Every structure is written in structure tokens, then in C-alpha cells.
Amino acid sequence: MKTLSTLEPLTTRLLEIQRINSAASVLSWDQETYMPAGGGEARAEQIAVLQGIAHQKLVSPDVQALLSQYVDPATGQAAEQPDESWDEPSRSLLREVWRDFSRAKKLPSDFVVKLSRECSLAQQVWVEAKEQNAFTMFLPNLRTVLQLKREEAQYLGYQDSPYNALLDVYEPGATIATLQPVFAELKARLVPLLKKITNSTVQIDDSVLHHSYDHTRQLEFGRLVLTAMGYDFTRGRLDLSAHPFTTSFHPTDVRVTTRVHEHELQSCLFSCIHEGGHGLYDQGLDQRYFGTPLGDSVSLGIHESQSRLWENCIGRSRPFWRFFYPVLQQTFHQQLHDVTIDQFYAAINRVTPSLIRVEADELTYNLHIMLRFEIEQALVEGKTQPEDLPAIWSQKMKEYLGIVPPSDTEGVLQDVHWSFGAFGYFPTYTLGNLYSVQFFEQAKQEMPHLEDEIAAGQLLSVRRWLEQKIHRWGRMFTPAHLAERVTGSTLRPEPFLRYVEEKYRELYQL
């Protein structure tokens, strides 16, 4: 039987390409964290050159010649798959390399360089526009990026909608047609639940979260929780950025960021836990396969499931705070000494329509995603124009959440994604929510004392379970196959819906 060693000439070339991409990622991370504002244009060129080189190497005649030895171009599978002469890791690697190669081959190298440059520039303008509440400042860059993403969809090819070509980049196999029924099922159950909560006689006071909280101590507590989760600071960092994110250059160098607001305790706290979930996934990938698809995450929906599992299923749970609330009280004694754990638990789980997606509660969060899904689909299809976005955003916020943003900073400019061309990314957040509960329920079944361990501050068993079940496999399996291996079922909305209905029925005495 043929194994990965047979593919060494191919994997050697893939490793070189990955190292170039990693170098570009280092520059992007620095751009978001420490680069002086004046370095923007030069940095955009540096990143664009590296990504152009990586693209040229991936679609080179050498790589194509190697792939043609192993892959049947008609199917994208190992050429000798029918007689099972390849082992499963090799077949998976060839399947995923062919997917990457085929997609990259459709994109001209000069287009890749141009797209990279324009996205890097747009991202920097977005930061300034958000700070100044000036959507018109960002509008020219957004127009440029959007037009390039429409061109990308044309190069890639698609069925039904150009949006499907972009969506498939982030969540392989997903389409508008597969997502709409899922979103419809969520909306049918979440909107009535939100109405019941809004009409409930129980009123939760979350003012405790908005006292004055020292920046340094917020970061220290965030680091403490990350360490308890198993995030390895000898292989990672925690820094500040305008929009929290995680980036990985290798499983031994994974970096997370957060943001700190003096009067919003939950912002730093939950972004640390959320990004830590992403960071654990990247640190848990098998180093032996670095540079190949087997050393990469399977999809953004699965990746998001890891952050949402930690942030919500664990970080917003009673067991978690039985251990960590006394520590938080000691850290902020003046603000929290007379606040009970039940009051704090209720405050961090309060349901209220809010302006900012990343700070939304578990129930309304998916409504934020549906809004963005509809908007960006219309943008890519040309049914909506960029200059109309502020008005459309306000209209949909009122429709979905009953509130209207008082500014573009709290509205259409709040997310970084469109600035770097990530059209098709937002739906993966909702998929991540659904996967997270499905995975966590399975973990509790397999580890009956898990919640007792969490209540004792022992979080490493969760990390180990996720690493064994999900992280270490990379792209060995498709998202649907991975979910079925872990839970016995492909993605289902029901576990998530049951989870939020039970949680908020108890909190709001419905």
C-alpha cells in the first residue's frame, strides 16, 4: 500500500509554499498589532509579493506534473483509488491538494497579487474609517475589493450564484441552497423565543459589567483563563488589535489578540476565551503534516465551533464560574465584592438586542449573521451597491433586532471582514454555533464527570478531547464526515436550539 512517503516530492514543494504563506501571515499579524500607521502602503506591497510568489509556486508546472502522477484529473481523487492501493491519509491529502491546486489554477497570478494588495490597503483604511465613523472614507476601497471578489467568482466558476464560489472557499460544499433551510429553521425558533424573553417579567441587570475595570488586570485575567484552557504561551502570544483575531504560522507559533474597553468587562474576557478556542485548534494540529492539508484546519465552520464551544458552552456556563468567579472577584474586588455568582451568571447571559455582533448574546448572535449573509449575498450578486450599505444595514437591524445603529462605527463598519475580501465568511459563524453544541454534548456523553471537572477549574480534559477528536485530523475528513465521526451525525440545528431554549427558559422563568 502506498503511504505519504510516496508523496514526498509533492509534500516538499507544499512545505516551501506554506513557509512563504506563513511569512506573509507574520507581516499581516504585525500590520494589525504593531506596525506604524505610515507603513501601510509598503506593507501591502510586501504581502502581495509573497502571496503572488506562493500562488505561482502552487500552480507551477512542477506541482502540476507531480499531481498528474497521483491524481485522476477527472475526479480529483487518487488515480489508483478503486483498488485502494493508497492509505487513507494519502488519499485525503491528494483530494485536498487537488482542490487547492484546481482553485488556484483558475486565478491569474497578477490577479492574486492585485487582490492581496487592495485587501491589505482596504483593511488599513477600514481601521481609520471605523475610528472616525466615516463610511465614505472606506467606500472607495470597499468598491474595489467587492469588484475583485466578483471577478474571483467568475474565475472560479459557480452554480446558481457567484456567492457560492466564495462561500465554498471557507466552508467546502456549502451553498446558499444548503444554508437557507438551516437559517430558516433557526429563525423560526429563535425569533419567538426572543419575543418571549422580551415580554418576560424577569429583568436581568447587567450594569455590573459596565463599571470601570483596569485594562492591565483585564488582560491578566484573560491570560489566566487562556492558560487554564491549555493555550501554550511558549508557542503563542496574546496582543491587542482593533478586531480580535487568531493567526497561525505553525503549530509552535499561534497568536491571538483581544481588545480591552474600560467599561465593557465582557469584551476582553470573552474575546480571550473565543480566540483561545481558535488558538487551541491551531496548536493542536499535527506538526508532522505542516505544509500539507493534513496540517490545516478543515473549515471555518469547524474552526468557529472550537471558539464558540469554549466561549459559550464552557465560558458562559455555571460550572466554569464556580471556579473562576472567586478569582475574578479577587481581581476586581471593589466592583464585584457584593455581586453574587448567580447575579454575575445572569448578567453575562442577559438577552437583549445589541448593536455589536461580537458582543451579542447566544440567542441573538445568529440573527446578526443572517443579516450579514443576506447583505453580502446581494452585494456579490450586484443586487445591492456598496454606497447603499448604511441604509440597508439600519433597515435590516430594525427588522431582525428591533434597533437601529446610531453610527456607522456601531453599524456597517463594525466588522473587518469585507475590508480583506472575506465575502462568504459570515455564515460559518452560525455553522460554528451549531457544531459547537453538537460537539460539546458528545463530549459530556463520553466524559460523564466533565462539568464537575470544569467546576474545579480543570479544563485540560476538554482540550485533550477536542485535540484527539478534531484538531489532530486537519483536513483528513470533510466537515460533514468529521462531524459524523465525532457525534454520529452530520450537522443538525436541533442540539443548539434545545440548548438555548433550555438555558433561557431557566434564566427568564419562561
Which pLDDT score, from 0 to 100, does residue 482 have?
A: 97
Structure confidence by residue, pLDDT tens digits, 236-281: 999 999 889 999 999 999 999 999 999 999 999 999 999 999 999 9
**Is 4 in a helix, a strand, or coil?**
helix
Measured in whole angstroms, how far is the alpha carbon of residue 297 from the centre of its chain? 11
Nearest partner of 25 among 351, 223, 247, judged by Cα? 247
Which pLDDT score, from 0 to 100, does residue 76 have?
A: 67
Please list the alpha-helical segments (H only) found in 135-213: 135-156, 162-170, 176-198
Measured distance CA(305)–CA(277) in Å, rounded: 8
Which pLDDT score, from 0 to 100, does residue 210 have?
A: 97
b/e string for 290-319 if b means 16 or more Cβ within 10 A? bbbbbbbbbbbbbbbbbbbbbbbbbbbbeb
Structure confidence by residue, pLDDT tens digits, 53-105: 999 999 999 999 999 998 887 766 666 554 568 899 999 999 999 999 999 99
Cell of 272: 480571550
Structure confidence by residue, pLDDT tens digits, 316-360: 999 999 999 999 999 999 999 999 999 999 999 999 999 999 889
DSSP of 321-371, one letter per residue? HHHHHHHHHHHTHHHHTT--HHHHHHHHT-----S-GGG--HHHHHHHHHH
Active site residue 311: no
Confidence of residue 213 (pLDDT cuts 50, 70, 90): very high
DSSP of 203-224, one letter per residue? ----GGGGS---HHHHHHHHHH
Confidence of residue 147 (pLDDT cuts 50, 70, 90): very high
Enumerate residues 6+ apart whose C-beta is below 8 A from 226: 233, 238, 256, 272, 273, 276, 279
Q: For each of the domains in the chain, give its residue range(s) and CATH number, in order of start.
A: 4-157 (no CATH), 176-507 (1.10.1370.30)
Amino acid at 305: S
Measured distance CA(298)–CA(300) in Å, rounded: 7
Residues above pLDDT 70, as percent of the chain: 98
Which pLDDT score, from 0 to 100, does residue 86 have?
A: 87
Q: Is the dihedral of CA 149, 152, 154, 157 positive or negative?
A: negative
Q: How many helices (H) and strands (E) does the chain have?
A: 21, 5
Question: Which residue reads 476582553 in cell numbers?
Answer: 268
Confidence of residue 134 (pLDDT cuts 50, 70, 90): very high
Structure confidence by residue, pLDDT tens digits, 407-437: 999 999 999 999 999 999 999 999 999 999 9
**Is 504 in a helix, a strand, or coil?**
helix
Cell of 189: 425558533
Confidence of residue 1 (pLDDT cuts 50, 70, 90): confident
**Is 388 in a helix, a strand, or coil?**
helix
Cell of 206: 447587567
Helices 494-507 and 176-198: crossing angle in degrees, nearest 10, is 10
Neighbours of 364 (CB within 10 A): 20
Measured distance CA(290)–CA(272) in Å, rounded: 26
Nearest partner of 430 among 485, 493, 481, 381, judged by Cα? 493
Which pLDDT score, from 0 to 100, does residue 83 have?
A: 53
Write the DSSP symbol of residue 475. T
Asked if residues 302 and 284 have their Cβ atoms less than 8 Å apart, the reply is: no
What's the average model confidence in pLDDT over 439-452?
98
Measured distance CA(226)–CA(238) in Å, rounded: 9
Measured distance CA(355)–CA(357) in Å, rounded: 7
H helix or E strand, kind and range, residue 255: strand 253-258
Asked if residues 161 and 381 have their Cβ atoms less than 8 Å apart, the reply is: yes
Alpha carbon distances (Å) from 117 to 43, 123, 311, 445: 9, 10, 33, 48
Neighbours of 73 (CB within 10 A): 12
Angle (nearest 5°) at CA 256 between 476 and 57: 50
Amino acid at 222: G
H helix or E strand, kind and range, residue 247: strand 246-250
End-to-end CA distance of the chain: 60
Which pLDDT score, from 0 to 100, does residue 23 have?
A: 97
**CA-only gyration radius of the chain, Å:** 23
Asked if residues 432 and 182 have their Cβ atoms less than 8 Å apart, the reply is: no
Phi, psi of 93 (to 5 degrees): -60, -45
**Beta strand segments in 268-327, E:** none
- Mean model confidence pLDDT for the chain: 95
The answer to whether residue 459 scores a pLDDT higher than 50 is yes
Which pLDDT score, from 0 to 100, does residue 82 have?
A: 46
Measured in whole angstroms, how far is the alpha carbon of residue 205 from the centre of its chain? 30
Q: Which of 118, 275, 362, 467 is catalytic?
A: 275
Nearest partner of 459 among 300, 255, 348, 321, judged by Cα? 321
Which pLDDT score, from 0 to 100, does residue 355 have?
A: 94
Strand order in the sheet with 246-250: 236-240, 253-258, 246-250
Which pLDDT score, from 0 to 100, does residue 117 have?
A: 95
